[in-house]
Structure 1
Amino acid sequence: MMRQVQALLFDLDGTLVDSAPDMAVAVDRMLVDVGLAAAGEDRVRGWVGNGARRLVMRALTGRVDGEPPEADVDHALALFLRYYEERLSVRSRLYPGTRSGLDRLRADGYGLACVTNKPERLARQLLSDLGLDDLLPVVVGGDTLTVRKPDPAPLHHAMAALAVPAEQTLMVGDSRADVEAGRNAGTGVVCVPYGYSQGEDVNALAPDVVVASIEELHGFLRGAA
């Protein structure tokens, strides 16, 4: 698999960008608005990873599998998105090795895309704010299609845009949703250990490879070529 790789699909939050600090501020403002106590960044980090709606559901209930009433979620989600858009990249930062790794992968001719459960508009703005939009022109967000990861459709959509088949593609992420999406789509799967995995050890998810950074991923692919 690794010798045939032509394209890489990257998750965004927790893989390329540590975005939890800004999301936490928006979550806490939302919680206060709906009459609940602020959660704080540490708790919010444990809730990130399955899209904005699921993040809000977890915040409202304090549980990873929380299921509050839909009307409450709709109201809180609108508040969260408004607050989050106001400070999308104030404290969010690229993980070490992200920019250099993407630069080297692009220079080596790999097709690169971002496949995230974040709303596409916000994902594109965050990538632009952090200077990655030139490296990741193909962006598939959580609302680009009617389904999102771990459904394989977003990955297939990105692969079609890159004109690369699944057997020549790697999904690179930090969580179960990324691993399952890659398996469902028929791609190889690479994980980073530092992101938002809701407490799961990514090694236990059985990806093909775990790398410490995107820069290390580039080195690994060079060694496998």
Structure 2
Amino acid sequence: MNSMRQLILLIFLIILPLPASAVILEQAPLDGGDGSLSVGPSGIQIATDDFQFANTIQLTNIRWWGSYDPAAPVTESFTVRLFADDGSGNPETNAFFETTFAGNGDSSGGLVDLFGGTVYQYDLGVNQLLQGGADYYLSVFNNDGAQDWYWLESATGNNTGWSRAADGDFWNFDASTLNMSFQLTADIVDIPEPATLLLTIAPLLWLIGSRRRR
């Protein structure tokens, strides 16, 4: 009986997906780089170049970098959104995911922007499923209308971006938009293919059945 329980436990562990947290996409911040103004909800909003993943992932953290002109407010506030593709290679008008960051950025990285301004790093914990093979777009804008916030550029990316003036507007492809700096962390779940799973557990199931007949 004890052996039977061990076999059942082994099958359960084979079937059970084991998540592993990892950085799945990063456009690293460029020290001394320029930035794109992103303030809202009415002002100017920026959306990153589109990205996709081969497999479905559980997004757990969004990180981005930026600086202020003239200086950071006492308490910072950002709207963070994810958009799906509208079918023609642009972000949809309305986001399918939206949340708010409230607090303060981290300046301990020692990065500065093109004009010597302090660059802040922001981390936001999330819990959002993203389907593999689908195109997504990230948008971040500062909620303080009295402060100009600039999303720091990255040296990597595909040199595409979108902008709009306010919520509800259609996105415009903007060739002048920089590659924005951001990092995505997710739980990657290794789910066996059905055929592979069947080949793996079939001998164990046969062994359980043979032990019962005895």
Answer whether TM exceeds 0.5 for this pair: no
Q: Given the two structures, how large is their TM-score scaled by the length of structure 2?
A: 0.26
Higher RCO, Cα 8 Å, sep 6+: 2
What's the TM-score once normalised by structure 1's chain length? Answer: 0.25
Higher helix share: 1
